[in-house]
Amino acid sequence: MGFAAGVSADAPGSGSSRAFEFKYAVRSKELPKDAGRVRLWIPVPTSDTQQDISDLNIKSPVHYEMHEDAEYHDHYAYLEVDPRKQPGPIEIEMTFKAVRRENRVSLRNAADHPVAVARPADLTRSLAPDRLVPLDGLIARLAGEQTKGLDGPLDKARAIYDYVLSIMRYDKTGEGWGRGDAIYACNVKRGNCTDFHALVIGMMRAMGIPARFEIGFPLPRDRKSGEISGYHCWAQFWIDGLGWVPIDASEGWKDPARREYFFGSHDANRVLFTRGRDIRLDPAQQGDPLNYFVYPYAELDGKPWTGMQSSFSFTDLEPSGASAVAF
C-alpha cells in the first residue's frame, strides 16, 4: 500500500520562494601577545536545486582562498593570519543574495506513481554512522521496535518521524543539548534541532534508509529583516522512486499545525550552508573532525581556538534575475 500524506491548511503553496540578502560577520577576540599563526575556515553557501546564491562578497583584511571538502562537497573560505603583521582583532564580513525555494515532495500514493529520479551512485556515507550517531545497540533496537510489521521504507521513515516527535521535547535548558548526540536524545528525550535529527537520521540509517544532515540558518516567518540568533538544521532521506525526501522534525514538533507538512517538505524560510557530520577540512585542521560546520572554525598555533565571534542578519528582497554563484 502506498503512503498517503496529508498537508495542513497553512502549509506554504507549491513553488513558494523567498529572496533575501544575508550578512555573516566574524570578529575575533584580542589575540594573545605571544600568538603565532591563526588559521580560519568560514563556511560559504552554494547554489543547488533549492537555492540560488549570487553576489557573494567577502571582505577580509588578509588574502583568502576558496576550498571544498572531498566528502560532502561543502565550500568554505580559508585564511591565515600572522598577528605580527595583522595586529588587533580580525574582522571579516560575508554578504550574499539568495533565492530559496520550497522543497516539497508529493508522497501521496508514492509506491503506485514513482518519479523518474536517478539513484545517486554512492549512498554509502548516508548509511554510515557518525561519531555521535551510532547505528547499533540502542538506536538499532528502537528503530526495529518502531518499524516492526512495516514493509516499505517510506512507511518506516514515517513511523520513525512520528516516534521522535512523540518522545522528544524541544528544550535548550541545562547541558548536553545541541551536539547532535543520538544516545543523549534517546536518554534525555529533549534538545534542539541537532538532537532531533541525530535520532531521526540514526534510526533511519539503522533500518537501511539513506539519510543526510543539512545545516544553515532560519529566516523568521514573521519578520522581513533583522538579526538571526543562531543556526537551524534539518534532514533528507532517500526513497527510490521519490529521490531525496525533506524532513524537519524539530519544526514539526514546535508547530503541530505543520507536523504533516514537515514530513516531505522544507519551507523557503531557510538557507543551506553545509551538509554532513565529522567534517575533515582542506587544508586539514589539526583538531578533531568538525561535529558540524556552520560557524567559523579557528585554530591558534595548531590548537582549536574559540576566540571567534559571529553574528548573522538578513533583509528580504524582491525576487530578481541575478545570476547564481558557481564554484
Average confidence score pLDDT of the chain: 91
Residue 251's contacts (CB-CB under 8 Å, 6 or more residues apart) are 193, 234, 258, 262
Domain CATH code at residue 301: 2.60.40.2250
Q: What pLDDT score does 108 carry?
A: 77
Alpha-carbon distance of 183 to 199, in angstroms, equals: 8
Asked, for residue 192, whether it belongs to a domain, the answer is: yes
Asked, for residue 81, whether it belongs to a domain, the answer is: yes
Q: Is 60 exceeded by the pLDDT of residue 218?
A: yes
Asked, for residue 324, whether it belongs to a domain, the answer is: no
Q: What pLDDT score does 116 carry?
A: 67
Asked, for residue 92, whether it belongs to a domain, the answer is: yes
Over the stretch 199-217, which tens digit does the pLDDT of each residue have?
999 999 999 999 999 999 9
pLDDT band at 219 (very low <50, low <70, confident <90, very high): very high
Cell numbers given for 104: 516539497
Q: Is 60 exceeded by the pLDDT of residue 243?
A: yes
Asked, for residue 61, whether it belongs to a domain, the answer is: yes
Check residues 88 and 322 and name the one with the higher pLDDT. Answer: 88
Give yes or no: residues 113 and 257 share one domain.
yes
Over the stretch 261-292, which tens digit does the pLDDT of each residue have?
999 999 999 999 999 999 999 999 999 999 99
Over the stretch 100-113, which tens digit does the pLDDT of each residue have?
999 999 887 666 65
Identify each DSSP E strand in 45-161 by its residue range: 51-59, 64-68, 75-81, 91-101, 103-104
Alpha-carbon distance of 241 to 113, in angstroms, equals: 8
Torsion of CA 147, 149, 152, 156, to 10 degrees: -10
Asked, for residue 2, whether it belongs to a domain, the answer is: no
- Tell me which of 231, 246, 267 is where a domain ends: 267
How many domains does one find in the chain?
Answer: 2
Of 2-11, 53-62, 86-95, 171-180, give the lowest mean pLDDT range: 2-11
Burial of 249 (0-12, 13-18, 19+ CB in 10 A): buried
Give yes or no: residues 114 and 257 share one domain.
yes
Q: What is the pTM of this model?
A: 0.91
Over the stretch 171-181, which tens digit does the pLDDT of each residue have?
999 999 999 99
Give yes or no: residues 119 and 71 share one domain.
no
- Considering the chain, what percentage of its residues have pLDDT values greater than 70? 90
Give yes or no: residues 171 and 60 share one domain.
no
Domain residues for the domain of 169 are 105-267
Q: What is the DSSP string of 183-247?
A: HHHHHH--B-HHHHHHHHHHHHHHTT--EEEEEEEE--TT-SEEEE-S-EEEEEEEETTTEEEEE
Residue 302's contacts (CB-CB under 8 Å, 6 or more residues apart) are 286
Give yes or no: residues 51 and 193 share one domain.
no
* C-beta separation of 135 from 206 below 8 A: yes
